[in-house]
Amino acid sequence: MTTFRHAGVIGAGAWGTALAQVGARAGLRVTLQARETEVVESIAAKRENTLFLPGVVLEPEIAAVADLAGLASCDLILAVAPAQHLRSALKALAPHLRPGVPVVLCAKGVEQGTLKLMTEVAAEALPGAPLAVLSGPSFAGEVARNLPTAVTLACEDEALGRAIAEAIATPTFRPYIAADMIGAEAGGAVKNVLAIACGIVEGKGLGRSAHAALITRGFAELTRLAMALGAKAETVAGLCGLGDLVLTCSSPQSRNMSVGLALGSGMTLAEALAGKLSVAEGVASAPAVRDLAARLGVEMPICQAVAAILAGEAQVDAAIAGLLSRPLKSEA
């Protein structure tokens, strides 16, 4: 069985830093690549990512570098660059990636323009590299503080998926193994858009009943798109779909829900995003999800409404009224 010893993490935002913590606690040597010089310096001097994950003391096995060349000796890569920047990050990694080194995709989204999932982006940027997908209900701060978390680790090669899962598992970080990478990706991409919708519902004070209805009908949209892409319904009914949706739609800790809260309270999108260091993936994914649904002929009215609000094509109240005035239909 494959044994991993040295993990490289691309992207030192909150989630990348949290996953570096996971790897170090699991017994791996970890090299964390950061674009920001101040992050590299902060980790070296203070053992803390003061910019993106303040207050968390990082494990001694974590070293920070600015250049992707610093990951050349790694035998496992976790790619945590935001979805819209993943292609450029992987292309930059390509000259330094040794043949056969697996790349675990940890970004959630649909690439704008191409409308491709992250595995498709990675297959083009890193031809021949073994791929896996990590997705599931997980807040970076909680993972970094060693609170219990369960996620999906999806890989078409079952033996490789099991080896990666065992390499990063800890008593408080539990990866469940799956083969359906498309399902894991689709769940992660769509739930961010739906979290913005749930934030709007909360910001408008529409109540818990509306919130529950939106999560449920949003999950129906997520499932329809995933299955149109070739995923299995049981995959998105698990941690990487329903589990991630429930978490992201239920707490203002969610960057995407916090954007929706701001929009629902009357802020513009520019005001909602002002001063935020971390990326709310749903903002960029919403138009791509809408376009992908149109291409596949999948009905996704909630995601379409969110995309229209973000694009300035519809006001919040008008979008809500449009959803509530849709013709009655079977729930199935």
Q: Which residues are catalytic?
A: 191
Which burial class, exposed, middle or buried, applies to 286 when counting CB atoms under 10 A from its CB (0-12, 13-18, 19+)? buried
Exposure letters 142-168 (e unless 16+ CB within 10 A, then b): bbbebeebebbbbbbeeebbbbbbbbb
Cβ atoms of 148 and 196 within 8 Å: the answer is no
Residue 72, token pair as written in the block: 């050349």
Q: What are phi and psi of 29, to 5 degrees?
A: -80, 135
Residue 166, token pair as written in the block: 């065992």
Using CA atoms in the order 32, 36, 42, 48, what is the torsion angle rounded to 10 degrees? -50
> Strands 173-178 and 149-154, how do they pair?
parallel
Sheet holding 173-178, edge to edge: 62-65, 29-33, 6-10, 76-79, 103-105, 131-135, 149-154, 173-178
Q: Where are the beta strands (DSSP E) in 87-193?
A: 103-105, 131-135, 149-154, 173-178
Which burial class, exposed, middle or buried, applies to 1 when counting CB atoms under 10 A from its CB (0-12, 13-18, 19+)? exposed
